[in-house]
């Protein structure tokens, strides 16, 4: 059977922009591990959002019948810059307004959301890996060069526990902790009877794309992703908690325009985004290679 490539007409820009934004939120993996509360404040590429972080409140010993000294609450300003953008532009012929198949536009938006998600997740992954604190505290674990379930291999469960301990030592809150692992690492976990046979229903359940459940030993929400940075088979796994990184994205433009010289329309969209590591101590990393 011959396969014919066709184009599709009819779109309501505001409706599709909103649907695209909703689809993006559901698809992001690394984005699900970020603070995204500043998202509504961006309108275009080049925008910036000022983020204020509050220093610790000073404590003092209390003595009866004496005044309590007041200290000044201090804040630090960080700037989240929306400096990334990705666009698409496809066209359809006016004839397709009559011949279009119902649902094709929704499928086009689904594919656009998937591709935009892929770009945004790669950006966040690189940002997180580069943002792991390697000074004080040093949150980068020694490389695990042979991760597997065989004799002498680096235990994938032990690595998760070690990375969680690094976060403990940095006084990172227990709530909201996560780790993103490549599919092969997820496979090594599933081979282990501690997960595949004796895990809880929460431990084994899949809630959304990429989310595997919460590992009850390390306390990390586990996500699998093909966007874990990889150099020659060595994968940069990162873990952290939800407030370590701020990310914002917005589908700021979606427009349908008539072509100046032809009987067809252009269908264009723009997503802008940016991210910032705001608490480097809240990230931890390890470079892992699968056992052969």
Predicted pLDDT of residue 205: 46
To the nearest whole number, what is the mean pLDDT of the chain?
A: 79
Distance set, CA 8 to CA 108, 114, 251 (Å) = 9, 19, 21
The Cα–Cα gap between 228 and 235 comes to 6
Element (H, E) at 285: strand 283-290
Q: Taking residues 136-144, report their average pLDDT.
A: 95
Q: Reduced to 3 states, what is the DSSP secondary structure of residue 289? A: strand
Angle at 120 between CA 112 and CA 159, to 5 degrees: 130
User: ω before 237 within 30° of 0 (cis)?
Assistant: no
Predicted pLDDT of residue 87: 87
Model confidence at 104, in pLDDT bands (50, 70, 90)? low
The Cα–Cα gap between 45 and 184 comes to 36
What are the tens digits of pLDDT across the range 86-100? 888 877 666 555 445
What are the tens digits of pLDDT across the range 169-226? 999 999 999 999 999 999 998 887 665 543 445 544 433 456 776 676 688 989 999 9
Whether pLDDT at 161 is above 70: yes
Looking up tokens 């690595």 gives: 159
DSSP for 184-217, please give it.
HHHHHHHHSHHHHTT--HHHH---STTEEEE-TT
Is there a contact between 235 and 271 (Cβ–Cβ < 8 Å)? no
Is there a contact between 221 and 181 (Cβ–Cβ < 8 Å)? no
* The token pair that represents 47 in the structure block: 């925008």
Q: What percent of the chain has pLDDT over 90?
A: 37
What are the tens digits of pLDDT across the range 261-289? 777 777 778 888 999 999 999 999 999 99
DSSP state of 46: T
The more confident residue out of 171 and 256 is: 171
Looking up tokens 């925008």 gives: 47
What are the tens digits of pLDDT across the range 13-52? 455 556 555 555 556 789 989 998 877 666 667 777 777 6
The Cα–Cα gap between 157 and 216 comes to 11
Q: Whose CA is closest to 277, among 80, 109, 17, 29? A: 80
């Amino acid at each position: 059977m011959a396969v014919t490539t066709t184009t599709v007409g009819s779109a309501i820009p505001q409706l599709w922009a909103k649907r695209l934004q909703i689809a993006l939120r559901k698809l992001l993996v690394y984005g699900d591990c970020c603070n995204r509360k500043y998202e509504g404040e961006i309108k275009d590429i080049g925008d910036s959002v000022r983020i204020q972080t509050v220093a610790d409140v000073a404590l003092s010993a209390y003595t009866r019948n004496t005044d309590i000294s007041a200290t000044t609450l201090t804040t630090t300003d960080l700037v989240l810059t929306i400096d990334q953008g990705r666009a698409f532009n496809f066209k359809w012929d006016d004839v397709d307004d009559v011949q279009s198949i119902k649902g094709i536009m929704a499928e086009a938006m689904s594919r656009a959301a998937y591709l935009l998600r892929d770009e945004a997740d790669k950006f966040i992954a690189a940002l997180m890996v580069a943002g792991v604190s390697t000074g004080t505290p040093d949150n980068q674990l020694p490389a695990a060069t042979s991760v597997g379930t065989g004799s002498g291999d680096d235990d994938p469960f032990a690595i998760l526990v070690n990375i969680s301990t690094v976060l403990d030592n940095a006084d990172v809150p227990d709530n909201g902790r996560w780790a993103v692992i490549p599919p092969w690492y997820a496979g090594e976990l599933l081979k282990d009877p501690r997960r595949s046979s004796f895990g809880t229903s929460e431990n084994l359940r899949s809630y959304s794309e990429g989310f595997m459940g919460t590992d009850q030993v390390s306390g990390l929400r586990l996500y699998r992703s093909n966007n874990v940075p990889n150099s020659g088979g060595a994968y940069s796994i990162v873990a952290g908690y939800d407030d370590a990184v701020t990310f914002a994205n917005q589908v700021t433009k979606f427009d349908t325009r008539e072509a100046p010289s032809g009987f067809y329309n252009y269908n264009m969209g723009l997503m802008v985004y940016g991210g910032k590591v705001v608490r480097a101590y809240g990230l931890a990393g390890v470079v892992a290679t699968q056992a052969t």
